[in-house]
Amino acid sequence: MTGSLGARRLVLLVPTLLGVVTLVFAFLHLVPGDPVEIMLGESAAPADVAALRRDLGLDRPLPAQYARFLLRAARGDLGQSIAFRTSVARAVAGRYPATLELAGAAFVLALGLALPLGVAAALRPGSAVDRIARLASLAGACLPGFWLGPLLILLFSLRLGWLPVSGRGGLAHLVLPATTLGLGMLAVLVRLVRASMIGALGEDYVRSARAKGAPERRVIAVHALRNALLPVTTVAGLQAGALLAGAIITETIFAWPGLGRLLVQAIDARDYPLVQGCVLAIGLTYVGVNTATDLLHRAIDPRLRDAR
């Protein structure tokens, strides 16, 4: 069943990505700005501008350019970056691991803290732990990354001297950007886990488990938490996509050499192929994460496994 779902999602992947690429292509060409003028400069001879436009295929009608891009992409050729004069695939591949590392760390951090904090808050509503969890989630939802990032640097790098200010390196370099990026997701998940757990703990099956004498730890971990996790996995999957978008700001603040910064550069340069390559990579990741979420959902919930 899981296998056929995976296959169905893979089939759906194609129109989804096609839609993303089509929208990006259309919007990019609506925005003012010309990559050839940017590339050759304003003093370039009109003949040179025309020749380069021809070489890059930018003199063709938009539908022809679009068809050409699609045909190439289908063969795995994303074209050449206009601004950086390198293959788009190479440019994207060079930056993708950094973004994945940052978003992955933020995801692990957010989920790793949200689960215990949310469960603890749900077990004792109104307690000090609950109040702290709710306050932390409120703060996390309110603090924008562009403000929080420099603040964390001031505290942990400059005042305490514990962590590096910026750049990519070992684990120490990852802590502040991952915290900045993951805090928003943490805020959402803590509230969700708490609410979901409170709901699950009031269900009949939990009461039955307790009545049958199941140990409290087992009641919480197996009966309540497993059911409470269903909405959490769905939201976590969606939030993972938001992490990729949020990474653009975090990468800029912490000089993190990821895909988000490359995308901003590409947009500034009206580097159409590179923008499309970056968006395609982000779109693929987003769809991949959500497919994985669906599969996980089915693994957790036997009702979905058995459903036709």
Partner 1 sequence: MPPAGLVLALQSDPQSLDPRFGVDANAARLADLLHVALTQPDAAARRRPELAASWEVPDPLTIVFHLRSDFHFADGAPVEANDVRATYLAVLDPALASPKRAALAVLSSIDARDPTTVVMHLREPFAPFLDATGLGILPAARARDPGEVTVGAGPFRVVRAERGERIVLEPNPGYPGGPPRLDPLVVRIVPDEVVRVLELKRGGVQLIEDAPEPEMVDWLARFPHLVVRRGPGSSFDYLALNLRDPRLAQRRVREAIALALDRDAVVRFILGGAARPASGLLAPEHWAYAPARTHRHDPARARRLLERAGYPDPDGPGPLPRFRLVYKTSNQPERRRLAEAIQAALAQIGIALEVRTYEWGTLFADVRSGNFQLCALAWVGIGDPDLYYLAFHSTMRPPAGYNRGGYASPVMDRLMESGRRELDPGRRRAIYARIQRRAARDLPVVPLWWEDRIVVQSQRLRGFEPSPDGDLHGLARAWMEAGEAAQVPEEPPEKEAERESAQAARGGSRAGVGLGASEQQSARSARAADGPPEDLNTE
Binding site for partner 1 (CB under 8 A): 31-35, 37-46, 48-49, 51-52, 55, 83-86, 91, 94-95, 98, 149-150, 153-154, 157-159, 164-168, 252-255, 257-258, 261-262, 264-271
Instruction: Name every residue whose Cβ is closer than 8 Å to that of residue 72 and which is 6 or more positions away in sequence.
Output: 78, 79
In this complex, which beta carbon is closest to partner 1, that of residue 189 or of residue 274? 274
- Residue 257 is classified by DSSP as -
Give how far Cα 308 sits from Cα of 65, 200, 305, Å: 42, 26, 8
Number of CB atoms found within 10 A of residue 129's CB: 17
What's the distance, Cα to Cα, between the start and end of the chain in Å?
Answer: 8
In this complex, which beta carbon is closest to partner 1, that of residue 29 or of residue 210? 29
CB of 32 to partner 1, least distance (A): 4
CB of 66 to partner 1, least distance (A): 21
Asked if residue 40 lies in contact with residue 49, where contact means CB atoms within 8 angstroms, the answer is yes
In this complex, which beta carbon is closest to partner 1, that of residue 130 or of residue 271? 271
CB of 40 to partner 1, least distance (A): 5
Token pair listed for 306: 């058995």
Q: What 3-state class would DSSP assign to 61?
A: coil
CB of 181 to partner 1, least distance (A): 15
CB of 153 to partner 1, least distance (A): 5
In this complex, which beta carbon is closest to partner 1, that of residue 10 or of residue 255? 255
- Cα separation of 121 and 144, whole Å? 24
Residue type, 195: A
Q: In which residue are the tokens 């390196």 written?
A: 169
In this complex, which beta carbon is closest to partner 1, that of residue 31 or of residue 128? 31
Question: Helix 171-201 to helix 225-253 angle, to the nearest 10 degrees?
Answer: 150
CB of 270 to partner 1, least distance (A): 6
In this complex, which beta carbon is closest to partner 1, that of residue 209 or of residue 249? 249
- Residue 229 is classified by DSSP as H
Which segments of 124-271 does DSSP mark as H helices, in order?
Answer: 128-142, 145-152, 171-201, 204-211, 216-218, 225-253, 259-268
CB of 58 to partner 1, least distance (A): 12
In this complex, which beta carbon is closest to partner 1, that of residue 237 or of residue 246? 246
